[in-house]
Structure 1
Amino acid sequence: MIEETAVRVEIHAARFASQSIFDILRLTVQAMQGRSYGQQSLAALNRQNRQLASVDVNDRTLRLVKRQLNQYSVDFSVTKDKDSGRMYLWFKGQDVDRIQTALENCIAERGQERPTLQELSARLAARAREAGQTRTPPVPEHGERL
């Protein structure tokens, strides 16, 4: 009788422990899914209790910078000064290295020359001519068509 009671207590304790571990894991997964990276409001950045830093950016580079920062999972915010029209990129001070790498990648991308639409169409026309010259003509069909 005492042995059966001890076994029941052990089973209940094991069920309670496993349920508690399951609940902790479920809450952890929910918290991780709720975490967002990338562009946020300045108020959301301030709520993270980290020192913030800012950089001036212009409209042309902002699009490229946003894409790079999202790839590096950096929390950032973009604000625009109403008086001067200048744009500021705000980020956490701990992300300085990632920001620097992202900006270097943007500079490298912008430094590459992009071909114009006319150059691209000329290249495609040349490829089409080459493909047409090497193509074998289709074998003529003999007989009646149904």
Structure 2
Amino acid sequence: MTEIKPEIVDYVRTFVRDDHEENDRIERLLDEEGWGDGFASYLAAVFYYAIDRRFGGKWSQSAVIQFVADMRAANPVAAQVDPSIAEAAIRAALDPAADLNVSALELPKTQIVAIHHAVADLDMTDSDLDDLLRKAERLAAR
């Protein structure tokens, strides 16, 4: 069982909610104390649930391309994400048969900005976001 540090959950929550000051504080803390082994699996789980919820089981290649284009236009951080990587990651989350050949260095950045955009698109309440984060934590801790 993988341990997911509570700070990891808080890091994702503060990023998604644009609480930059608290996000920076948590990031500094995690940089000092270590992110632990659970960060990648937790981020992947949050990404999966956020993307799955955003597309609601109905998606097409053009819908994924539009989502990525909108995401990249939304803010300067997202604009730096390679659209082909983002599209491949999203397709892999939506289609288990899809091939994902993406650098381990690029994937987390892509996932976090896609999570941010999906949650914004869904206009999730804090309660909905907490539910999604807890669900992802359970999946990642397996």
TM-score class normalised by the smaller sequence: under 0.3
TM-score normalised by the chain length of structure 2: 0.25
Structure with the largest fraction of strand = 1
Structure with the largest fraction of helix = 2
Q: Which structure has more RCO (C-alpha within 8 Å, separation ≥ 6)?
A: 2
Pair member with larger Rg: 1
TM-score normalised by the chain length of structure 1: 0.25
